[in-house]
A and B are shown apart, each in its own frame.
Chain A
Amino acid sequence: MMKILILKEIQQGIISLRYMLTLVLTIIIFATSAVLYIKKYEDRRMDYEEQMLENRDNLEERAQNLNQLAGNNQYVIRPPRLAELFAAGGEKHLPDRIEFSSFWYAGYENIDRLNYKLNPFTDMDWVFIVGLVLSFTALVLTFDRISGEREFGTLRLQCSNSVSRFKMIMAKYLASLILMAFALFIGMIVNLIIISIGLNASLISHYITQIFISVMLFLFYLSIFLLLGLFISSLVRKSSSSLAISLLIWTTIIIFVPAGSSMLGQKLCKIPSSYEYNQKRDAAWNEIWSNAPVPQARGYWNGRDFPYLADRVKLVNRLYESNDKFHAERFRELLSQVHMARNLTLLSPYSLLSYAMESISETGLDAFVRFYEHGKLYRTIFREFIIQKDSQDPDSYHQICSWHPEAYSDKPVSVEDIPSFAEPRFPPGEALWRIKINLLLLTFFNLLGAILAFGAFMRYDVR
């Protein structure tokens, strides 16, 4: 009986105008997203390769002289990832290049081709399509499933059959889920076909597991909206009221909760302004300089035979260590504010889906923080390499300091010996573990939706 009910619901849904429009809109938007992404990905790939080449050339040139290699800035760069198609994660605003030398940290920046003159926009990734467009269509498919049938009088007829109400609503829910899944699959297939033609088909094969997990997550997410639609439809008498309530709740949780929570997060977690930060950092620098344990070390540098060479090098290195410490502290402060805002946005299933997808696709803020940590680690390894190479030079004074290159080795090093930077990729299983909270909350929303929808329908007056 259940099967028949589901089939009937699917047949009814599939020929409806709203489902046809859903299908057309889904296909168009997935196809547009793929076409635009190809261009974007190619540009980014080109920029990345150019940057890597330039960095390599610079290293080769500086490898002729160890102190040049140590004192000049170099980069670690994040490669563009195809997975940004699944979840862009605000990557266009996040830095993808860290600049540093073995002595100082120069900063992080974004090499994306951003045009500040354009209005702010959201990337049309899978999260945007499913999170916004398909969740909307899920509500449109279900807003009158109960109240609409009551208005037409068909609900009475259905209830007069020997089918439990539980089975009836279950059939409606499953049929809607199947219909949504079908639209989603079609859209995703169109998207992936275009990507395979436009880019390299083998690229996609690296992301099969991620695609599979994404589909599961999307269905889990869409299910919340189907249940919400069914719940509100079972709560009110008129389908028009059900639609108004559903859509207003939808706009609130999709648009206003994520944006409002981030603004609230900024308010709740206040951090010192960049002006205050700069003042503190400079004051610490001046204090170290003024309170140098050996004041003569501050004196004018007069070549390698300067009697306070070791003290001066220590002093200069302490200055840069202090700057590094301030920078690390500032980074922690900035992140704590973003995390506070992000935690507040978890009230919205849309944010839950976005963050989960970012984890799966290794994009977004967390991926950047991991990249930053690896960059820091690489800098330590690079510095140790400089110290080790310098220790092998008998002519060096072994006083490594950014201000005085003459105080340490100027011998050439082999480019092959220079440690290279590589960002490790996480297995998808690990990503699943990282999104456990998101999964738990999505499950909670699903369960809540199911209890409310099923409960409301059990008590629904079909007259």
Chain B
Amino acid sequence: MIWQLIKKEVLNKIMDFRFLISSVIGLCLIVLTTSILSEQYVKQVDQYNEFINADREALNDVKVFSQLRLNAHRPPTPLSIFSKGVSPQLDNSMRISHASVPRQGVETESENPFMKIFQFFDLTTIFQIVLSLLAILLVYDAISGEREEGTLKAILSNSIARYQILLSKLTASLIGLAIPLFLSLLVSFLIMTWVYNIVFSIDQWTRIGLMVLSTFLFLGFFVTVGLLFSSLAKHASVSLIWLLFFWVVTVFIQPNLGSYLAATVTSIPPREKIESAITQVWEKFQEKNEKIEQEIQQEVPGDPWHSDQSGRLPYYFCFDGNRTGLYRYVLRTQRIQPLFVDYAQREWQIYQGEYHVHLNRQLTYQKVFDKFSPTALFKRITASLAQTSIENHEVFIDQARQYRQSYLSYLIDERKVFSVNANLYFTQQTMEQIENSDFAERMRKAGGPGKKMVSYDRSYYDPLDLTGLPQFQFQPTTLSQSMKHVLLDIVLLLCLSVVLFYLCSVTINRYDVRSN
């Protein structure tokens, strides 16, 4: 009997004009969005490859270690077509240097920063808006409408439990919603694979499958809410009005309000404050730097050799051709470069300290507010599965930091550092080794009596042998890690639907089927 009911309900729904029009509009939007987002993704991939190649080429040209400019790039994911999460506002490249710890800047270097004033959307936004509306339109009259038409009486006269009627309506609605959902997905995949040659891995297919399941959970929530309102109201028109206001609040206002509230209720300190604290750290560094210069001057007296006053290593330097200049240079390098690492760590601690606590507090508030919004929960679930959530981005920053650590170890451990270069990082060579090097010999010849200053020109030297230089390889979050982030949200969404279904069962059991 229940299967007959489901069949009847499904047929009723898919023959409905509302169903047809919603599906057609939804499909048109999906085609348009998939094309635009796929092209954006392809462009991102090209840009990523461009960055990787540029970095590789730059490495071939490195003559001195201070010339090394390393970056950590995060490859784009095709899942961003489904859910963009917070990715549009974040940087996918991090500069790796011994003098700074990778962190997300408040201001990011996007291709066109002014484009941020526009809103963006993805496939799940379309499902979220169009399919939730369709869910409401399909069920608002499921009980009250049948009561008005008198058919509810006839159904109940059969030997079927009331909750089974409810279950059949829920199942039929979900089947009805599955048709436009799967049709849209099919069209999307065809566009992505045939037109844009986008290939998904098995892990990504699993994630897409889970996103589809979470879409059903989300739609299930709207269907059960629709059934509840329909069984609470005597007239379909009344349940419709309540449901429409509920829809606009749940889909548009509530998730937006959650973020807006979180950003307003608690303030984060102005960026100026954190920046001035960081400036103070580097001012202290400068003081220490000057002290070191004085110490060196005392240890190795003589004419101070030319260098820039910032304390950072110059790209070139002038060398007066005698041992003293070289010795002083080595001493500076050995004492000042480790200071950069130390102060970069202090800068990081400031950022990670109070400022980060405030950022995280706002995030926690947002997460709490999101728990009250099924749409926000759905967005969080899909973003996490699509690897575009903030948690995924933080994994990238952590990996960039780990990469910097391995780069530092390489610089410190690598004994070949001195082979041909003048700008020494963390070298542990003895003065004798330095003095006997080819470089020192060449500089002595180039300088010497009568030639007071000689510019150091990198083009004199061969590129460095960088075998052993660690390479950055981004390890995206595993499926189990993503699931761990969203498990509570999934359970909450499921519980909401179950509770609502229970309430529906209670209401329908007490429902007066007589039409007046």
Which residues of A come within 8 Å of B, CB atoms? 17-18, 21, 25, 29, 32, 36, 39-40, 43, 47, 50-51, 54, 89-90, 93-95, 109-111, 113-124, 132-133, 136, 140, 144, 148, 238-241, 243-245, 247-248, 251-252, 255-256, 258-260, 262-264, 266-267, 271, 273-275, 300, 334-335, 337-338, 341, 345, 364-365
Contact among B25, B119, B260, B363 for A258, CB-based, below 8 A = B119
Would A252 and B257 count as touching, CB distance under 8 A?
no
Would A36 and B54 count as touching, CB distance under 8 A?
no
B183 at the interface (CB under 8 A from A): no
Q: Given the complex, which residues of B lie within 8 Å of A267, measured CB to CB?
A: 36, 39-40
Would B268 and A113 count as touching, CB distance under 8 A?
yes
Would A335 and B362 count as touching, CB distance under 8 A?
no
How far, in Å, is B23 (CB) from chain A's closest CB? Answer: 10
Q: Given the complex, which residues of A lie within 8 Å of B260, measured CB to CB?
A: 36, 121-124
Q: How far is the CA of A116 from the CA of B358 in the complex (A)?
A: 12
Q: How far is the CA of A255 from the CA of B258 in the complex (A)?
A: 19
B474 at the interface (CB under 8 A from A): no
B18 at the interface (CB under 8 A from A): yes
Chain B 310-350 interface 0/1 with A at a Cβ cutoff of 8 Å (1 = within) = 00000000100000000000000000000000000000000
Would A94 and B114 count as touching, CB distance under 8 A?
yes
Q: Given the complex, which residues of A lie within 8 Å of B263, measured CB to CB?
A: 113, 115, 118, 121
Would B137 and A240 count as touching, CB distance under 8 A?
yes
Would B133 and A113 count as touching, CB distance under 8 A?
no
Q: Given the complex, which residues of A lie within 8 Å of B104, measured CB to CB?
A: 116
Q: How far is the CA of A93 from the CA of B248 in the complex (A)?
A: 26
Q: Given the complex, which residues of B lie within 8 Å of A271, measured CB to CB?
A: 111-112
Q: Given the complex, which residues of A lie within 8 Å of B258, measured CB to CB?
A: 119, 121
Q: Given the complex, which residues of B lie within 8 Å of A248, measured CB to CB?
A: 21-22, 25, 130, 133
B198 at the interface (CB under 8 A from A): no
Q: Given the complex, which residues of A lie within 8 Å of B120, measured CB to CB?
A: 120, 259, 262-263
Would A117 and B360 count as touching, CB distance under 8 A?
yes
A123-B260, A241-B18 known, 19 other contacts, Cβ within 8 Å: A21-B241, A32-B257, A47-B272, A50-B272, A90-B116, A93-B117, A114-B106, A116-B86, A117-B86, A118-B259, A119-B259, A132-B252, A243-B137, A244-B137, A255-B125, A259-B118, A275-B50, A341-B118, A365-B117
Determine the residue in chain A with the shortest Cβ distance to B362.
Answer: A115
Would A341 and B257 count as touching, CB distance under 8 A?
no
How far, in Å, is B244 (CB) from chain A's closest CB? Answer: 6
Interface size range of chain B in the complex: 35 or more
Q: Given the complex, which residues of A lie within 8 Å of B111, measured CB to CB?
A: 271, 273-274
Would B363 and A118 count as touching, CB distance under 8 A?
yes
Q: Given the complex, which residues of A lie within 8 Å of B238, measured CB to CB?
A: 17
Give the top 3 A-B pairs by smallest Cβ distance, nearest first. Answer: A90-B117, A262-B118, A121-B259
Would A251 and B129 count as touching, CB distance under 8 A?
yes
Can you report 6 residue pairs joining A to B where beta carbons are below 8 Å apart? A32-B257, A118-B363, A124-B260, A140-B244, A148-B237, A259-B120
Would A113 and B270 count as touching, CB distance under 8 A?
yes
Would B257 and A116 count as touching, CB distance under 8 A?
no
Q: How far is the CA of A239 from the CA of B255 in the complex (A)?
A: 29
Q: Given the complex, which residues of B lie within 8 Å of A29, measured CB to CB?
A: 253
Chain B 298-317 interface 0/1 with A at a Cβ cutoff of 8 Å (1 = within) = 00000000000000000000
Would A256 and B29 count as touching, CB distance under 8 A?
yes
Q: Given the complex, which residues of B lie within 8 Å of A243, measured CB to CB?
A: 18, 137, 240, 244
A interface: dominant SS: helix
Would A116 and B272 count as touching, CB distance under 8 A?
no
Q: How far is the CA of A95 from the CA of B263 in the complex (A)?
A: 19
Q: Given the complex, which residues of B lie within 8 Å of A90, measured CB to CB?
A: 116-118
How far, in Å, is B144 (CB) from chain A's closest CB? Answer: 13
How far, in Å, is B371 (CB) from chain A's closest CB? Answer: 14
Would A264 and B262 count as touching, CB distance under 8 A?
no
Q: How far is the CA of A345 from the CA of B264 in the complex (A)?
A: 29
Would B106 and A338 count as touching, CB distance under 8 A?
no
Q: How far is the CA of A119 from the CA of B367 in the complex (A)?
A: 10
Given A121-B259, A244-B18, verify A334-B36 contact (CB < 8 Å): no
Would A258 and B118 count as touching, CB distance under 8 A?
yes
Q: How far is the CA of A2 from the CA of B126 in the complex (A)?
A: 43
Chain B residues numbered 475-491 whose CB sits less than 8 Å from any CB in chain A = none
Determine the residue in chain B with the shortest Cβ distance to A261.
Answer: B118
Contact among B240, B256, B455 for A121, CB-based, below 8 A = B256
How far, in Å, is A358 (CB) from chain B's closest CB? Answer: 10
Would A119 and B379 count as touching, CB distance under 8 A?
yes
Given A25-B245, A89-B117, verify A252-B106 contact (CB < 8 Å): no
Would A256 and B115 count as touching, CB distance under 8 A?
no
Would B36 and A263 count as touching, CB distance under 8 A?
yes
B212 at the interface (CB under 8 A from A): no
Given A40-B264, A113-B267, A116-B104, verify A334-B112 contact (CB < 8 Å): yes
Q: Given the complex, which residues of A lie within 8 Å of B21, measured CB to CB?
A: 241, 244-245, 248
Q: Given the complex, which residues of B lie within 8 Å of A241, measured CB to CB?
A: 17-18, 21
Q: How far is the CA of A255 from the CA of B126 in the complex (A)?
A: 10
B121 at the interface (CB under 8 A from A): yes
Would B117 and A94 count as touching, CB distance under 8 A?
yes
Chain B 106-149 interface 0/1 with A at a Cβ cutoff of 8 Å (1 = within) = 11110111111111110001100110010001000100000000
Determine the residue in chain A with the shortest Cβ distance to B85.
Answer: A119
Q: Given the complex, which residues of B lie within 8 Å of A334, measured CB to CB?
A: 112-114
Q: Given the complex, which residues of A lie within 8 Å of B47, measured CB to CB?
A: 273, 275
How far, in Å, is B79 (CB) from chain A's closest CB? Answer: 17
Would B362 and A262 count as touching, CB distance under 8 A?
no
Q: Which of B85, B104, B109, B244 has the most CB of A within 10 A?
A: B244
Contact among B18, B113, B121, B376 for A259, CB-based, below 8 A = B121
Would B248 and A136 count as touching, CB distance under 8 A?
yes
Q: Which of B33, B270, B366 has the most CB of A within 10 A?
A: B270
B90 at the interface (CB under 8 A from A): yes
Q: Given the complex, which residues of B lie within 8 Å of A40, measured CB to CB?
A: 264
Q: How far is the CA of A259 from the CA of B21 in the complex (A)?
A: 22
Q: Which of B126, B255, B263, B272 has the most CB of A within 10 A?
A: B263
Q: Given the complex, which residues of B lie within 8 Å of A266, measured CB to CB?
A: 40, 112, 115
Would B117 and A17 count as touching, CB distance under 8 A?
no
B498 at the interface (CB under 8 A from A): no
Q: Given the complex, which residues of B lie within 8 Å of A118, measured CB to CB?
A: 86, 259, 262-263, 362-363, 366
Q: How far is the CA of A84 from the CA of B510 in the complex (A)?
A: 51
Would A122 and B17 count as touching, CB distance under 8 A?
no
Q: Given the complex, which residues of B lie within 8 Å of A89, measured CB to CB?
A: 117
Would B264 and A39 count as touching, CB distance under 8 A?
yes
Q: Which of B21, B85, B119 has the most CB of A within 10 A?
A: B119
B509 at the interface (CB under 8 A from A): no
Would A255 and B88 count as touching, CB distance under 8 A?
no
How far, in Å, is A290 (CB) from chain B's closest CB? Answer: 13
Q: Given the complex, which residues of B lie within 8 Å of A238, measured CB to CB?
A: 17
Q: Given the complex, which residues of A lie within 8 Å of B22, measured CB to CB?
A: 244, 248
How far, in Å, is A426 (CB) from chain B's closest CB? Answer: 20
Q: How far is the CA of A115 from the CA of B261 in the complex (A)?
A: 12
Chain B 16-54 interface 0/1 with A at a Cβ cutoff of 8 Å (1 = within) = 011001100100010011001101100000010011001
Determine the residue in chain B with the shortest Cβ distance to A272.
Answer: B111
Given A21-B241, A36-B261, A124-B256, verify A244-B363 contact (CB < 8 Å): no
Contact among A117, A148, A275 for B390, CB-based, below 8 A = A117
How far, in Å, is A113 (CB) from chain B's closest CB? Answer: 5
Would B269 and A113 count as touching, CB distance under 8 A?
yes
Q: How far is the CA of A360 from the CA of B199 in the complex (A)?
A: 48
Q: How far is the CA of A275 from the CA of B51 in the complex (A)?
A: 8
Q: Given the complex, which residues of B lie within 8 Å of A365, measured CB to CB?
A: 114, 117
Q: How far is the CA of A90 from the CA of B238 in the complex (A)?
A: 38
How far, in Å, is B203 (CB) from chain A's closest CB? Answer: 24
Determine the residue in chain B with the shortest Cβ distance to A97.
Answer: B272
Would A17 and B241 count as touching, CB distance under 8 A?
yes
How far, in Å, is B30 (CB) from chain A's closest CB? Answer: 11
Q: Given the complex, which residues of A lie within 8 Å of B116, measured CB to CB?
A: 90, 93
Would A252 and B363 count as touching, CB distance under 8 A?
no
